[in-house]
Each structure stands twice: as C-alpha cells, then as structure tokens.
Chains A and B, each alone.
Chain A
Amino acid sequence: MEPLIKARNLSFSVGSLPLIQGVSLEILPGEVLGVAGQSGAGKSVLAMLLAGMQKPDSGELVFDGRRLEWPFRARDLGIEVIHQQPEMVEGLDITRNVFLGNELGWSPRGRWLRVPDRRRMDIEAARILADLGMPYRSLRERVSNLTGEQRQLIAIARAMTHAARLIIIDDPGLLLSYPYQQKLLSLIQDWRSRGAAVLYGSDNIDHLMAVTDRILVLRHGRCISQRITEETDREQILAATFGSADQQELTPIIWALDSYYRAREQAEKLSSRQKALERDLGAPEVNRQIIDQLADQINVLDRANSALQEAQRRLLSELELERKRLAREIHDQVIQDLLAVGYRLEELESGPAVTPSLEDELQSVRSDVRKLVSDLRHICGELRPPTIDSLGLGPALQSFVHGWSNRTGIVVDLALDPNLGRLPEATELSIFRIVQEGLNNVRKHAGASRVDVRLEHTSPRRLLLSIADDGRGVPADFDLLQLSAEGHYGLSGVSERVALLGGRLKIRNQPESGALLQAEIPHPRVEPIASD
C-alpha cells in the first residue's frame, strides 16, 4: 500500500536553534503513528510541519503523491489538525467555530461566496458535540466564555465535520479530563478503522501504547527510534524518550517495584528542572557539573529500575514454570499412583477372603484415597489452571470461579468480554492469579455473600478487571506497604503483577458497601472477531 504521507529528512530551525533534524516518516492509510517525546522534543513542531503550516528548512513532504506546502491547501486535501492549544475565533459562537473554514451552505462559486446555512450547521454541530459528550448552554454562546476543555472539544469537533484522510493530533489531552481523553482515544480508533491515517503526538505513553500501530520517539528534534507498538513496551519507549537504560547493563540494586513509577516521575521533574536551570543560569560551569551529576544519577536509577523489573518478570515467569512442573508431577505421578492404590483396594474388596468388618474398613480407606485424589486435583488446578493452556483465560476463569463458588457458598457473577480472544501467556496467567488472589481475599476478610467479577476491554489494547464484593470493605488505614511489612504478600503480589504488565491497580471501597479491586492492564491489540 502507498503511504498517505511521506516525509523525508525534514529539518526546521528557529535562528540557530534546531527544532527538528532530519526526521523521516511514512504513514499508511488506516494506520496510527504515535509520536513520543518529552515536552520540547519537537512533537508540536513536527505536527506543524506535517500539517503544512510551517515550511521546513530542508527535506521533502509528499501527501498522496503531491508536495505539500500551504495550510489552506492542507484542509482541502483532507488534512485535519488538532492542536495542543485550541485555536478559536473568540468573537464567534460555538457553531461557527466548529464549522470554521468548512461552512455548510449554498455556494455559487467556491467557499468564499458561500451563503452559510445556519440551521444545518446548528443541527450538525449539536450532533457532533453530543457525540463527544460536551455540555454547553447554547450553540450561540461565544467561545470566549467557555472553559479550556470545552474549547478543546470544539477544536476536536472541527476535525469531525468532514471525513478527513489524515488527522494530526498534537497532544490535546492536557486540557481534557479523563473521560474526554478516553473519548479521544476511541475517536482515533474510529478514524483508523475508517481508513484514515492518524499522527498522534502525546506525553502519555499509556495512551500511545493503547491506540498506535507504531511509535516514533523524538529527542531534541531527532528521531531516536521507530518501533512497532506490538513489539515494544512502555519501558523501552520511556528509555528512548529520556535517553537512558541500556538494557544489557544490569545493576544489582534492590528497588521496591512500586517505587519505580514514583522514581520515574521524579526523573521527569528533575529533567524539567534541569531545563529550567539551564535557561535561568545561562549554564555556567559549576551548574553544568551539578546538572551532569544529576543526569548521571537519573540514568543510573533508571537503569537499575529497568534491570529490577526485568529480574522480577523473569522471577514470575520462572515461578509459573515451576508451578506448572509441580502440577504436572503431582498429576502424572502422585495422582496416578493413588488411583492405582484405589484399584488395588477395589480388587481386594471383591476378593474371597474378605470379612464384612474388613470390607467396611477397606471401603473407608478407598473413600479417603478418593478424597485425597480430589484434593490433589484441586491443588494442581490452583498451581496451574488446567484449562488455561488449552482453552484460554475465559474458560479457565469460568471453571475456577464455579469451583470456588461451590466450595465457599459465595455467589459469584462472572461477566467476561465477548471479544476476549487469546492474550499472551504471561498476561492470561497474571489475570488468572489476580482473580484467584482477589477471591481468596474476599473469602478470608470480606464476609461477603456475593461477588461480581468483570473483565472487559476499555480500548482494544486495554483490559479492565474489577472484583467487587458486598462485604465489609477495606479498612480506612489500608496500606499495601504496611501489609507486606506484616508478612501479608497476597495483595502486594497482585500490585507487582499489575505493575509489571504496565497496568494500574486501584483498591477502594464502593459507595454502598464492600470493596472494589480494579486492575487496568494493557496488552497487544486483539482484533475483534469479525461478527460486528
């Protein structure tokens, strides 16, 4: 397939300051290219260049086989841009701003002499804004009275007024609250499935991982790496973004995994402070040294953390392997032997020299053996859910939950996403273990009579697991660190697993009663089964 937009060796500088240096990229129709990078890395400038709104100093830009230069051409060609800061005409109302440059109406010739059709534009604008879920008092309201978020939504609505072929999105998330950020991600999915090409620049690596096909990492205006989203993970992208962490050099420092993300946040803060310092002080030699030292420390920390994560991941996968081996051993050896013992007893029972009292005794031994076998089977199941390797996560969860409910007498309502599909082994096992641990906690601590277990996609690359019970709820002074200090590792194990998968864990009380455990877990894209 021919790329929709092709950039070769783009460079752009302001004065002597290079902002973009020799960046090349291609985007196919129906592809989402993510652009990662710290603020100041050149994401916005790249977006402007690709939108044809800035002329590059050198390099070539080809859109659909034609060279691209002027902004007012770009819109005609079907290129839409959503900027970091929404650009509005302050004096105009919501509808006019939504349809700015793309007015509907009756036209004798060209756009400029078009007579705008307010009614049609109002209806369309209302539909688009309702689709986005944006609240507003009146479409006649002037945009200068609106909040930053509303203005950003109007800017997004502008890109939805006609079928664009290339949508360039320059991190509009800063002005948007969580639900609208999610909405934007699902819009990107829509555009992608409609065959539009999308360039999505963002600071938020989770968002990039969730919707992109490839990710390009910019640092100081240079393209540091381009990776296929399926084949990379957030740590690699982060490392490229911040310029640290050679994966080979493992430093054996023990570092609490939970602190990793806090450390990273610190690193981000430090590097932004570093920039501020450089700016303020004009970088005399002393400060230079301090800054270099700081940068070194950050590098070492970063490397240590990724090494630790790698180790932890290996540990977990070896643990699972070991459990699998153990389960097979018990299943193939011990249980078979016990079954053989059972048959022997049966044979003895029906033998000639059996007195009635001996027969009773034999029967009770035989039932003990049967119970032993079933207990062992149960243990095997716990060690390695038998269905997970063959049938996948869904059936494994169903069978586990069914057995658990029978054993404990607690009603479980299990709701699985119909498009679950097969996930990587590590992800499936982790989710299974989290459910296992979560339900065990419910049995031990909650005093609940009913549990809801729910596993659903929030986006094609993101699963939300929630376990909600109607029991006592978590205590007010609930603290994971405290718990593991006291030797209760169950929930810390869960939080580690979630963190290693690059996800988020939340444990809190529900408004009515009972506790709610929520884990959001990213995973490689699962294309929905073609039923829809």
Chain B
Amino acid sequence: MTDDRTSVTPGPVSTRARRFSLGRLWQGNAGRQIFVAILLFLVVLSFFSLSSNVFLSSQNLANLARSFSWLAMAAIGQGVVIVMGGIDLSVGATMALAGLVAGRCMQLGFSVALAIMLGLLVGVVVGAINGLLVARFHLPAFVVTLGTMGIQRGIAYGLTGGWSVTNMPEAFLGLGQSDVGFGLWTVPAPLLITLAVALLLSLFLRRTVMGGDIYAISSGERALVVSGVNVTRLKVFVYTLCGLLAAAGGLLLAARLGVAAPAAAVGAEVDVVAAAIIGGASLFGGVGGILGVLLGAAITQMLNNGLILLGYPSYWQTAAICTLMLVTFMLDYWRRQRQAAVHGTSD
C-alpha cells in the first residue's frame, strides 16, 4: 500500500513532463490528424491535376462535387460512429434501400417530400436497430451491422425482384442534379446540402455536451455511466444518426443517377469507412472530426475519379482506396503504440 503512495513523489512526474513535451508534436491528436488529411488531400489533388489535363476542368469538378456529396453525407455519420469507437458496415445497403423505398413511393404517387421522409425513415429504423443491438444487448457492432447489411440488401432485391426504379419526378432529381447560382459561381445543390449538414454536425460535436460525450465514450464509458450519462441512449442516437445520414446519402445518390437500384452502392460501405479513416477518425475512438471526414471523402472520390481519367479500369479504385486506408490506420496504430510506451496508457 505504501508502495503505491511513493508514486506521488515528484521524480517520475518530472521525467514524464519532459517526455510529454518531446512527444507533443506527435501527440497533438486532432491537430496532427487534420494535418495528415490536408497533406494527403493536397498530394492527391496535385498528382491528378498534373497527370490529367481534364481533372481540373469545371465539368469534372462539378462531377466530383456531386459524387463527393453523397459519399461525404454517409461518411459524416460513419465518422461520428467511429469517433465513438464503433463501426457501421450496413451503410451501403441502407443507401440502396432508402433510395428504393423513396423511388417506389414516388412511383406509387406519393408526394416527393413524403417519399423523402419515408426514405430517411428507413435509415432511422435500421440505425436504431443497430444501436439497440449494440448498446442494449452489447453485441459487437461489426457483427450486428454486417447482419443488417445483408438483411437490407436482401429486402432490396426481394422488394424489386432485382429491377431498378426509374422515372422519378424532376423535383426529386433536382436534389442531385441541379445547381445553385451565386453570382458568377454555380454550386451543385447536393454539395450545399452536404456542407450544411456537415456544419451543423460539426457545431454539435464540438460545441455541445453531448458531442463531448461522444468523444469521451471510447476512453471512459464507465466513467460516463457513473457520472449519470445515459450511454445506451447516446449510442442508439449515434447509430440512428449514422443510419439517417446514410439514407440521406442514398437519396442524393439516387437523385444524381436518376435510378434507384437494389444493387446501388454495393461496396459503398468500404468507401465510407475509408473516407472516415483517411480523414483522421481513429478506429480506437475519441479522435476525428467532420472537417477530416470531408477531406477523407474528397480524397476517396478524387481517387475514384482520377484513376478513371488516367485510364485505369475501375477495379483498381477499391484497391487504391483501401491501401490508403490501411496506411492511415497503421500510422494511427503506431502512434498509439508509441504513446503507450511513453505514457503507459493506450490513449
């Protein structure tokens, strides 16, 4: 017992202080992650700008912005889940199902607004189910969301018999295809929607107590419970938010393509998770931000777009994106190992 108390003596504290300042550059988590993301963004941007002369054309940039919008929308939700230390693999299937439900409803003559609502409701329901299974019944998020991914995809095929839904109203397609003019500039509408959502969520994450709690969960869930925070409700909320944003991303995708297909966004969960991780969200939780996720989504879509412009078959896109994701993840992992060696804690 007395041995424990000797740790209060100033000796170890002072050495820790010195190491702390040496490692500060390496340790300033949020700042460093954003720094890496910005650097990656600039590298990828300049690479494709130099190697392809159409990359920076206004036509291509508008294309990029539109495809960025739906991915970023889903990646923001994914980013919040990852910051909390979870993961949601069902987002790709949610995107497809939400698009299908909204499209089918519009075919059945529902108003556009109601159809959008119902499409978003799909995401809310699936997200809430994910959240409840993870938070209330303590099942691993990986398995739960893998399960709901398969279920949704199956329902999507089952409902449509494999056929796509087309002929959607102009009012809906406008969401993904129209532009909004700002004087000389025209900005794609989906980009504005995504950026507005991103701004709101960023404020929520950084400025509210609940946002702070989401960052805190991974390194002190018990402390939160002890302090009277309803962590179960918080987790359900975050998974629901992720489902909602994935559904919103799915609607943007359907609106952009003019088609809602059961096979839409197959493999999109990989892009979404990669965007969040490349953007600096740590799979260990507690680190990451909306700006980073936006950068990550931009990098991912630039790779998708740029590789095609350079004439590579589209099969290479996923390989490139996942390589980048693994490298980012390994950097994060090594940094944590080093911190653990210096501080005796993993975070």
Contacts and interface: CB of A to CB of B under 8 A. Distances in A.
A91 B215 contact: yes
A76 interface: yes
A16 interface: no
B227 A102 contact: yes
Nearest to B223: A87
B347 interface: yes
Contacts of A81: 226
Contact of A53 (B20, B216, B226): B226
A440 interface: no
Which of A53, A100, A144, A175 is packed against the most chain B CB atoms within 10 Å?
A: A100
B223 A88 contact: yes
Contacts of B347: 90-91, 144
B209 interface: yes
A74 B209 CA distance: 19
B208 interface: yes
Interface string B169-211: 0000000000000000000000000000000000000011110
A72 B229 contact: yes
Interface stretch (B3-11, B101-109, B128-136): B3-11
B8 A111 contact: no
A472 B273 CA distance: 77
A149 B210 contact: no
Given A112-B209, A144-B345, A145-B20, A87 B4 contact: no
B220 A88 contact: yes
Contact of B228 (A74, A89, A147): A74
A410 interface: no
A151 B207 CA distance: 26
A90 B345 contact: yes
Interface in B256-277: none
Contact of A75 (B4, B218, B228): B228
Interface residues on A, range: 35 or more
A105 B209 CA distance: 9
Which of B216, B227, B343, B347 is packed against the most chain A CB atoms within 10 Å?
A: B227
Interface in A111-148: 111-116, 137, 144-145, 147-148
Interface string A467-493: 000000000000000000000000000
B286 A91 contact: yes
B234 to A, nearest CB: 8
B219 interface: yes
A303 interface: no
A101 B228 contact: yes
Contacts, number: 101
A382 to B, nearest CB: 42
A112 B220 contact: no
B5 A100 contact: no
A91 B218 contact: yes
Contacts of B213: 112
B1 interface: yes
Nearest to B29: A91
Contacts of A137: 17
A92 B228 contact: no
Interface in B216-253: 216, 218-220, 222-230
A145 B14 CA distance: 12
Interface string A303-319: 00000000000000000
B136 to A, nearest CB: 13
Nearest to A91: B219
Contacts of A145: 16, 20, 343
A75 B5 contact: no
A433 interface: no
A148 B223 contact: no
B212 interface: yes
A101 B230 CA distance: 10
B219 to A, nearest CB: 4
B65 to A, nearest CB: 31
Contacts of A102: 227-228
A91 B220 contact: yes
Contact of A90 (B16, B17, B219, B226): B219
Contacts of A53: 225-226
Nearest to A141: B20
A177 B8 CA distance: 9
Contact of A148 (B7, B16, B210): B7
A53 to B, nearest CB: 7
Given A100-B227, A112-B209, A177-B8, 10 more contacts: A87-B220, A87-B223, A89-B220, A91-B215, A92-B215, A92-B220, A103-B212, A112-B208, A115-B209, A149-B5
Sort A-B residue pairs by CB-CB distance and give the 8 closest, nearest first: A75-B228, A89-B220, A101-B227, A112-B210, A91-B219, A87-B223, A90-B219, A89-B216
Interface of B: 1, 4-5, 7-8, 13, 16-17, 20, 207-210, 212-213, 215-216, 218-220, 222-230, 286, 343, 345, 347
Interface of A: 53, 70-76, 81, 83, 87-92, 96-97, 100-103, 105, 111-116, 137, 144-145, 147-149, 158, 174-175, 177
11 contacts: A71-B228, A72-B225, A72-B230, A76-B228, A87-B222, A100-B229, A101-B228, A103-B209, A115-B207, A147-B8, A149-B7
